[in-house]
């Protein structure tokens, strides 16, 4: 078998494979008769040919696979008519912290984010296949240590964790590039029907899928407006107008029981 024939075999395998193929996978095509370096050289040649086409050969953590160029995504989305599900900010922040700070415990994540991490968030990421328990911390209770998986790297289009975007310019540990609501193609009916779980800070809210707004800081809490002052008696009390005609000084009204204060002389009305 010459080089062109070997390339054709590898190309056919990569185009038809539902998942990335590693060097060992490709070697099995030739009964392990080709050395790993030879397989890599052939794959590099295939990738060079396809780099100007709508499909690109990309090296991921699990191997190589063909995928459409990013600039064609908006056209392909019109064929499905459905938008991929979006994950909440709380889910993406948790995933970003695990990716950049792994291995981390749930307590570490809560310390960075400043809020409690709902078990539903961890469960969502585990069911997606992006994180897994990679060990236990040697401390009280031996909490689980979480890390990312190869599938996470594959779905993100990365070959290794070193290819993650740098954190330069991030104002806080949680201001990570993956915070944005990233859309992903659902891999199962469960993913397609996934509910966006917001981090409400309580287990019950997370379990029911309720989105609970964040607490308003005390400084920003709404202050009730002061009630308007009542109008003076001179403008609203008819009796006051009667006793104090316009243009005359106001007269004091004493207790009717005080005989000394009652005038015996009649007063002419205006």
pLDDT digits (tens, 9 = 90+) for 19-43: 999 999 999 999 888 999 999 999 9
Tens digits of residue pLDDT in 146-155: 999 999 998 8
Q: What's the gap between Cα 45 and its chain centre? A: 39
pTM: 0.51
Tokens describing residue 32: 């392990």
Nearest alpha-carbon partner for 267 in 236, 238, 245, 247: 245
Answer with the residue of higher pLDDT: 195 or 2: 2
What b/e readout covers 60-89, taking b as 16+ CB neighbours within 10 angstroms? bbbbbbbeeeeeeeeeeeeeeeeeeeebbe
Work out the mean pLDDT of the chain and round it to a whole number: 73
Question: Which of 66-70, 81-85, 104-108, 252-256 is predicted least confidently?
Answer: 252-256
Task: Say whether domain 3-79 belongs to CATH 1.10.10.10.
Answer: yes
Tell me if 203 sits within 8 A of 122, measured CB to CB. Answer: no
Is the pLDDT assigned to residue 269 strictly greater than 80? no
Q: What CATH code would you report for 89-214?
A: 1.10.10.10
Domain with CATH 1.10.10.10 in the chain: 3-79, 89-214
- Given pLDDT bands bounded at 50, 70 and 90, which one contains residue 181? very low
């Amino acid at each position: 078998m010459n080089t062109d024939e070997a390339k054709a075999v590898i190309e056919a395998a990569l185009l038809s494979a539902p998942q990335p193929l590693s060097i060992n996978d490709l070697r099995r095509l030739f009964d392990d008769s080709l050395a790993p370096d030879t397989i890599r050289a052939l794959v590099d040649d295939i990738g060079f040919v396809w780099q100007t086409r709508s499909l690109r050969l990309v090296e991921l953590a699990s191997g190589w696979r063909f995928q459409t160029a990013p600039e064609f995504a908006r056209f392909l989305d019109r064929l499905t008519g459905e938008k991929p599900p979006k994950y909440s900010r709380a889910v993406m922040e948790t995933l970003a912290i695990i990716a950049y700070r792994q291995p981390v415990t749930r307590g570490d994540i809560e310390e960075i984010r400043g809020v409690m991490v709902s078990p539903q968030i961890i469960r969502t990421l585990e069911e997606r296949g992006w994180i897994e328990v990679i060990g236990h911390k040697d401390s009280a209770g031996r909490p689980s240590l979480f890390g990312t998986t190869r599938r996470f790297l594959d779905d993100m289009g990365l070959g290794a964790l070193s290819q993650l975007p740098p954190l330069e310019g991030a104002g806080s540990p949680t201001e990570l590039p993956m915070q944005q609501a990233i859309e992903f193609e659902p891999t199962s009916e469960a993913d397609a029907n996934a509910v966006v779980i917001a981090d409400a800070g309580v287990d019950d809210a997370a379990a029911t899928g309720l989105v609970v707004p964040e607490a308003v800081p005390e400084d920003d809490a709404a202050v009730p407006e002061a009630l308007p002052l009542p109008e003076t008696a001179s403008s609203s009390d008819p009796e006051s107008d009667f006793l104090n005609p316009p243009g005359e000084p106001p007269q004091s009204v004493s207790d009717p029981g005080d005989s000394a204060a009652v005038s015996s002389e009649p007063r002419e009305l205006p």
